[in-house]
Amino acid sequence: MKQQSLPCLRLVTVPVVLALLTASVSPVRALIFSSTGDPSYNTTAPAGNLAGSGWQYQGLWNGFLGTPVSSRHFITARHIGGSVGQTFSFNGASYTTTAVHSNGTDLNIWEVAETFSTFAPLYTGGNETGRDVVLFGRGTQRGAEVWVDGELKGWQWGAADGALRWGENTVAGTYGSLIRFTFDQSAGGNEVHLSTGDSGGAIFIEDGGIWKLAGINYAVDGPWKLTVDGPSFNAAIFDRGGLYRGGTYYPDSPTDNPSSFYATPISANHAWISSVTLVPVPEPSVVGLLGMGAGVLAWRLIRRRGNG
């Protein structure tokens, strides 16, 4: 994971290759919940209103996650690495990679020799801000509590167990070419933040009654310090008040000031994805075209619920 610097997400630490946007953002690893530290929480497929929301498309690549996007291709975070000839594990079968395609973002599309029996539809509408999502990762458990002047601020990254977990969040806005999420303590039982190991995990948006791939986990804010000269640590922080990130101090206030994590959007990159996979791009709406244009410009310029 990198740090705000916008390196590989480390999930704030997206596998500490979710990189911390240093100072930053870091690459990520595993999902951390605001409601519980139970390591078994949300380790089975979502049900009810969230059934079919992307769990079925998650495969294992180089210790992280990848998502099939055609009968012969899967997509993941570029910063997690890998090489042609390695295998991608999906639905109990192994698929040998034969080529990799990149477009200058943190996305890699890997081609495989075999054929996937199913693959995820893509969210191409743009305008992600305000949309509720389901996201996936595998990495650390929730670790030690972070306290400042008697107030709980979040949790350090804990032990990495590699378990596949899902959670929920809402798109808060953008950061350059990325989509941004915040970690809000009062948002609901499934509210989640990233940590190292979560890089490459998928983010899904429900669109027209269909859950579609909308982003790939990239990075998180951090690392953090209790004092300007103190040791740094990675953590899922729901209130930055009283903490330092690099040389920046966040004054405490009566309201929470949550940290963020970031993902590479599919909508701004769907034309490239289609050119690689040869899966036709759906005819966009006027709103979708406006969102796509904003995503391209941003690149060039550089809650929730509790249903389980």
* pTM of the entire predicted model: 0.84
CATH number of 1-308: 2.40.10.120
- What is the β-pairing status of strands 19-20 and 210-222? parallel
Domain locations in the chain?
1-308
- For the chain, the average pLDDT equals 84
pLDDT at 28 over 60: no
| 3-class state of residue 209 by DSSP | coil
- 35: confidence class by pLDDT, cuts 50, 70, 90: low
Q: State in Å, rounded, how far the first CA of the chain is from the last one.
A: 29
Contacts of 304 (CB under 8 A, 6+ apart): 132, 168, 169, 170, 184, 187, 188, 190, 191
Fill in the DSSP letter of residue 246: T
Mean pLDDT of 259-268: 98
Give me 228's structure tokens.
Answer: 């300007």
- Is residue 148 within 8 A of residue 252, CB to CB? The reply is yes
pLDDT digits (tens, 9 = 90+) for 106-159: 999 999 999 999 999 999 999 999 999 999 999 788 899 999 999 999 999 998
Q: Per mean pLDDT, which range of 41-50, 66-75, 97-106, 166-175 is the poorest?
A: 41-50
pLDDT for position 306: 38
Determine the Cα–Cα distance for residues 64 and 284; give it in Å rounded to an integer. Answer: 31
Bigger pLDDT: 221 vs 294:
221
Predicted confidence band at 160 (pLDDT cuts at 50, 70, 90)?
confident
What percentage of the chain reaches a pLDDT higher than 90?
Answer: 70
Q: Any residues with CB less than 8 A from the CB of 21 and at least 6 apart, and which?
A: 2, 3, 4, 5, 6, 7, 9, 175, 219, 220, 221, 262
CA–CA separation, 28 and 20 (whole Å) = 7
